């Protein structure tokens, strides 16, 4: 395994982070435990979850993933071996079963305390805002379209003050953002600096060969401001393994179970995936490992979040950290991006 540190901290994390959102629906508790055992044995010390999980969000499975992690931590006593990250859900139509106040008032404290209870721990190494409260472009929306009816009032200072209190209480070590835009990142950094409040250290956004939109503005911020990316969906729901090519639809795959995530198999995404698959074959690199190795080696990435529904997939994904891509292959991947840019945002 290769390691780095969370920006502006001394927290050592593996360059591969274990994603957990399938645990509680696609994966059972015992399967989640097996994945954590295997990942830790392979040197993965960074686990990411969220109060929202498992995915897709449902009232009856709310918090199920955190509970699975918590039971493993309790049984194994491995809390000291793991850098643990979770997230608070923002307001959205699909989170009405959680709470309706977003990050206002006591919501952050309420959400964190519930997560800590489910996770069987008294602190988190990283606590993230899962997406903005304001109406902006995330979750598949390419460009920003201003909504004059957006009722959001700028409360970034108040959010940071609340997080500051939770850090001082010992419940959180560091804080981060997720599904955030360049404007949002810079606003948080500005408030942190001018008010002497906690600094966001990471951004967890989607990034893959099918969605390189992070490069449009956030990559420069990540490098110049040292607030690095935790890349999620690096395999685009498994499409970048090639298993959906030629009209295939494995019956237990995520896209078969959750067809509304069809942005990963739209015509342009399929077109790009076919070209990426051909490059993997040409260079004799497993397609999934080529896809992950590309993300792993980007200079603005702190860690790549990999998710799997079985240990065999997880083993292949973790092994991508040892794959080096030649410059000519990287150039060829860039050429596909130029021809079919960001087909699955």
CB 267 within 8 A of CB 242: no
Domain boundaries, the chain: 3-238+289-324
List the catalytic residue out of 3, 53, 123, 276: 53
Per-residue tokens: 288: 């999934």
Provide the pLDDT for residue 299.
Answer: 98
Q: What is the pLDDT of residues 267-322, one digit of tens each?
A: 999 999 999 999 999 999 999 999 999 999 999 999 999 999 999 999 999 999 99
Q: How far is CA 112 from CA 50, 63, 96, in A?
A: 10, 12, 17
pTM over 0.75: yes
| Dihedral sign from CA coordinates of 272, 277, 283, 289 | positive
Q: Which residues pair with 171 in a beta bridge?
A: none
Beta-strand runs (E) in the chain: 3-5, 12-14, 16-19, 46-48, 83-88, 124-129, 172-178, 200-206, 228-232, 301-306
Alpha-carbon distance of 225 to 7, in angstroms, equals 10
Q: How does pLDDT run across 9-63, given as a tens digit for each residue?
A: 999 999 999 999 999 999 999 999 999 999 999 999 999 999 999 999 999 999 9
> Would residue 53 show up in a list of annotated catalytic residues for this protein?
yes
How many other CB atoms are there within 10 angstroms of residue 125's CB atom?
19
Q: Report the interhelical angle of 156-168 vs 182-195 (nearest 10°).
A: 60
Token pair 């472009």: residue: 137
Residues 3-238+289-324: name the CATH superfamily: NADP-dependent oxidoreductase domain (3.20.20.100)
**Residue 194: is its pLDDT beyond 90?**
yes
């Amino acid at each position: 395994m290769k390691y780095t540190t969370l920006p502006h901290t001394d927290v050592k994390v593996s360059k591969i982070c274990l994603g957990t959102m399938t645990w509680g629906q696609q994966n059972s508790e015992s399967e989640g435990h097996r994945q954590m055992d295997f990942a830790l044995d392979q040197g993965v010390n960074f686990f990411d979850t969220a109060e929202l999980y498992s995915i897709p969000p449902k009232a009856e499975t709310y918090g199920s993933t955190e509970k699975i992690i918590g039971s493993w931590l309790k049984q194994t006593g491995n809390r000291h071996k793991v850098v643990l990250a979770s997230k608070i859900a923002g307001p959205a139509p699909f989170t009405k079963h959680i709470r309706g106040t977003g990050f206002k008032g006591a919501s952050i404290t309420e959400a964190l305390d519930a997560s800590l209870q489910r996770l069987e721990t008294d602190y988190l190494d990283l606590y993230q805002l899962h997406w903005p409260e304001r109406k902006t472009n995330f979750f598949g929306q390419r460009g920003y379209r201003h909504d004059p009816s957006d009722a959001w009032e700028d409360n970034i200072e108040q959010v940071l003050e609340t997080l500051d209190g939770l850090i001082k209480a010992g419940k959180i070590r560091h804080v981060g953002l997720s599904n955030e835009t360049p404007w949002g990142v810079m606003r948080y950094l500005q408030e942190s600096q001018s008010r002497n409040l906690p600094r966001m250290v990471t951004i967890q956004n989607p990034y893959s060969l099918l969605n390189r939109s992070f490069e449009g503005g956030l990559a420069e911020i990540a490098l110049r401001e040292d607030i690095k990316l935790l890349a999620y969906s690096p395999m685009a729901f498994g499409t970048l393994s090639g298993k959906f090519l030629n009209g295939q639809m494995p019956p237990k795959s995520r896209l078969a179970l959750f067809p509304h995530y069809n942005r990963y198999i739209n015509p342009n995404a399929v077109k790009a995936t076919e070209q990426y698959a051909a490059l993997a074959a040409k260079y004799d690199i497993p397609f999934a490992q080529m896809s992950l190795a590309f993300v792993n080696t980007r200079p603005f990435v702190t860690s790549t979040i990999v998710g799997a529904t079985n240990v065999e997939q997880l083993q292949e994904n973790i092994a991508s950290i040892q794959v080096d891509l030649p410059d000519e292959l990287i150039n060829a991947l860039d050429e596909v991006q130029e021809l079919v840019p960001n087909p699955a945002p």
